[in-house]
Structure 1
Amino acid sequence: MAAAVVRRTLKSINPILSLRTLSSQNRQFTAVAATATEKQPESDGPSSCFTFSSDDREAHKEKNTQKDDSIYVKAARTASSQSSVTMPVAFMTGSIVGKRFYKQVTTREADDGNGWTVMLDYKTLKTPSKRPLKCPTLGLAKGIAAEWEYQETDGIRPFTMPLMKLTCTALERVPITRPKIIEHLLKKFHQDLVFCRAPGDSDLTKGLLEKQVEKIDPLLKWVESEFGFKPVVYSSFYGGKQEDGLVNAIENLLKKTDDCELAAIDALASAAHSLVISIGIVRGKLQIDEAIELIRLEEDLQVDGWGLVEGGHDVDIADLKVQISSAAVFLGLSRRP
């Protein structure tokens, strides 16, 4: 009896109003999502908007002899003439965006002649905020194109696309939050990794002080010659305080960077826990392998003494190499010749 009433109601009342009424009466019905095979990718990324389709419901009824109380919905279609592809905000969070919806990846010069863009099939790639993804150099555009080219068909994985993420950061985050980025970097500067020294009388850190003097002191001497102030080293857990002259010199350097350079410095400093190491890479004082050695100096000494934990130390090392290498490569590719 109840099912008959429902069927009569759905025939005479708008489907959306029916859903609201039935929901208030705690009636439960099945909602089946039917996606058309010819559906084109949406320009704004995956959408949660759906439209009711009476065509799909009627087609389903023709295939079944018995009447069905289900309500069928399908994803909203988009026009096939779209000229751009906008990545969703989820791209910046590391989650899988969706299946690969393109076949070919190419690069071309921007319409205004200022920079280079990436094309997915015949659609121009845009940032999560729908701004054109314009790279300052062809090399960076080709690097991002390579990341898109090597995506698997079962899903687009943003965490395998560091150049894309850093480029979006340089185009969107840095111009808006530049003062806050610099302020944050300077706030952490006094507790920089390279300023900290292990106590020489501790059995737990035996041999570490000698390694720090051997490996890090040459970098501190470079800082002194580069900026005119000798860094202060300390062994306190709470850190120390560098001279105002050195802090001001570092601040002036950061203010003179372009958006890509500041994005790279911020990413490097975050991975290295050291603004000095980050600046050393940017200025060409440190190579990638040298920077990684300085970052892992203490932990590698512990591994030598106590052994490597599989699934722990090895994963950390791989992750650090990716972060440092990708930021350094991004920096090199973004610089105009």
Structure 2
Amino acid sequence: MKSSARLLVSPLRQPTASRSLTRCIHTIPPNPANVVPVYGTGPPPSPPQPPAPEATIDPRIARRRKQAEMLQTAKELRAGAKQPGGNSKQTLLKKRFWKDVTVNEVDDCLEVHLDTRPLRHPTTKDVIRLPKSKPNLAFALALEWDMLTSAQQATKHHLIPLTSTVCRALDIRADDDKKGEIRKNIVTTVLRYLDTDTLLCFAAPPDPNNPVLASSQLNDAGRSLRSVQEEVAVEIIGFLTSNVWPGVEINPVLDGESIMPKAQKPGVREIIEGWVSGLDAWELAALERATLAGKSLLGAARIVAEWSEGEAGLGQRRPENGQKRFGIEEAAKAASVEVDWQTDRWGEVEDTHDVEKEDLRRQLGSSILLVAGTGTAR
């Protein structure tokens, strides 16, 4: 049997002659709108505004809300003060309350003024007064405060290092009139560096039969670390034993591979201790700062002797033999002979060696400013 498929077409889908395939379109035009002209004059009225919150809130409720906001602010301030480094006056310290910084002469002394307010000691609140013979120190102190951008920065010691050093000298002078405990502690501290002074610790001598040793390595100038250390130490020690401590013999405390420091000869420590104890407040503060910065009591002692206007300074007795004065660069290089040797050979570590180098020069420079002057104090 054969099956046949039949296409079924719905009679509704079949085109007929009576069904029109076109759509009627209206051709009647719409009626135009009548536009009424505006006859208003003047500016348009302001938009409506919502009523003020105070007008819709009971005065008692508004007062309680204000009290709640004040209590919340006080709570946040107390919470900030309890946190490490927090301060309830932090918002007030974010601004600089002074405009100009000047140096004025008051009662035969030099004062740094923040506008009309004199600079004061952060602890005792006494006015910081400098000798009239130290104008460089006064202007450097004023420049330090003029560089600050907010009062909050004045609470950070690393941003006002010179102010901290000046206050240290003032504390020593004030304590000398009482017990003198600060002076005794400083003398004890700096004398400890005599046993481990940077200038008295020498590397091992080079071994010509073993050039592989670190002590046998030479720099670009063909010199060993030991020879450079000896040259720097001999020059500084020779100056001190000739002009500051005549007749005193200072020997190395560490030599070569030894790890136990050697004591100086009898009498050497007593002579140096007597000289340190006799320094005035400015000289003692400068000696402490330079010793801690360079890890060398000998280098700090030469700074004080070369630059001080007080009794410990050489003044006119300083030999004028054509040598360059022992300044910041010379003291910094003497305190970092081994570091410079290693960095010249292996390179510097960025943001480490360069930062330490500048910080060392900053601290040694502040020591020179403390003791230097016009010489009228003597």
Identify the TM-score tier after normalising by the shorter chain. 0.5 to 0.7
Q: Say if 2:342 is the partner of 1:302.
A: yes
Deviation track 1:301-336 (CA, whole Å, cap 9, x = no partner) reads: 111111111111111111111111122123214964
Is 2:283–2:370's contact at 8 Å kept on the other side of the alignment?
Answer: no
Tell me: CA distance 1:238–1:131, structure 2 relative to 1, closer, same or farther (3 Å): farther
Counterpart mapping for 1:133-148 below 5 A: 133-137=128-132, 139=135, 140-148=137-145
Letter in 2 for 1:214: E
Cα RMSD, aligned residues only: 2.9
Tell me: CA distance 1:154–1:116, structure 2 relative to 1, closer, same or farther (3 Å): closer
Q: Say if 2:361 is the partner of 1:321.
A: yes
The structure where helix makes up a greater share of residues is 1
Tell me: CA distance 1:164–1:275, structure 2 relative to 1, closer, same or farther (3 Å): same
Is 1:223–1:230's contact at 8 Å kept on the other side of the alignment?
Answer: no
- Distance in 1, matches of 2:237 and 2:63, equals 81
Q: Say if 2:236 is the partner of 1:231.
A: no
Task: Give the corresponding residue for 1:121.
Answer: 115
Tell me: CA distance 1:179–1:123, structure 2 relative to 1, closer, same or farther (3 Å): same
Q: Secondary structure at the match of 2:249?
A: coil
Tell me: CA distance 1:245–1:193, structure 2 relative to 1, closer, same or farther (3 Å): same
How far did 1:191 drift? Answer: 1.3
Deviation track 1:234-255 (CA, whole Å, cap 9, x = no partner) reads: 3233322112322222122212
Letter in 2 for 1:266: E
State which drifts further: 221-230 or 252-261.
221-230
Task: Give the corresponding residue for 2:204.
Answer: 199
How far did 1:224 drift? Answer: 2.8
Task: Give the corresponding residue for 2:274.
Answer: 252
- Distance in 1, matches of 2:189 and 2:139, equals 32
Q: Secondary structure at the match of 2:171?
A: helix
The TM-score with structure 1 as length reference comes to 0.68
Task: Give the corresponding residue for 1:151.
Answer: 148
Task: Give the corresponding residue for 1:106.
Answer: 102
Tell me: CA distance 1:248–1:131, structure 2 relative to 1, closer, same or farther (3 Å): same
Counterpart mapping for 1:4-15 below 5 A: none
- Distance in 2, matches of 1:104 and 1:169, equals 25
- Distance in 1, matches of 2:126 and 2:335, equals 36
Q: Say if 2:205 is the partner of 1:171.
A: no
Deviation track 1:259-311 (CA, whole Å, cap 9, x = no partner) reads: 01100000000001001000111112622111111111101111111111111
Letter in 2 for 1:130: K
Unaligned segments of structure 1, at least 5 residues: 1-60, 76-89, 91-96
The share of aligned pairs that are identical, in percent, is 27
Unaligned segments of structure 2, at least 5 residues: 1-57, 75-85, 87-92, 176-181, 208-212, 218-223, 307-324
Is 1:191–1:238's contact at 8 Å kept on the other side of the alignment?
Answer: no
Is 2:172–2:281's contact at 8 Å kept on the other side of the alignment?
Answer: no
Q: Secondary structure at the match of 2:103?
A: strand
Deviation track 1:118-140 (CA, whole Å, cap 9, x = no partner) reads: 22122222102212211113513
Residue 68 of structure 2: which of 67, 70, 81 is its match?
70
Residue 283 of structure 1: which of 282, 293, 305 is its match?
305
- Distance in 2, matches of 1:174 and 1:237, equals 39
Task: Give the corresponding residue for 2:186.
Answer: 181
Runs of at least 4 residues off by over 3 Å: 64-67, 333-337
Tell me: CA distance 1:154–1:171, structure 2 relative to 1, closer, same or farther (3 Å): closer
State which drifts further: 135-144 or 164-173.
135-144
Q: Secondary structure at the match of 2:129?
A: coil
- Distance in 2, matches of 1:66 and 1:251, equals 70
How far did 1:66 drift? Answer: 9.7
- Distance in 2, matches of 1:101 and 1:334, equals 33
How far did 1:175 drift? Answer: 4.4
Q: Secondary structure at the match of 2:70?
A: strand
- Distance in 2, matches of 1:192 and 1:230, equals 15
**Structure number with larger C-alpha Rg:** 2
Is 1:105–1:120's contact at 8 Å kept on the other side of the alignment?
Answer: yes
Counterpart mapping for 1:26-65 below 5 A: none
Tell me: CA distance 1:334–1:186, structure 2 relative to 1, closer, same or farther (3 Å): farther
Tell me: CA distance 1:148–1:302, structure 2 relative to 1, closer, same or farther (3 Å): same
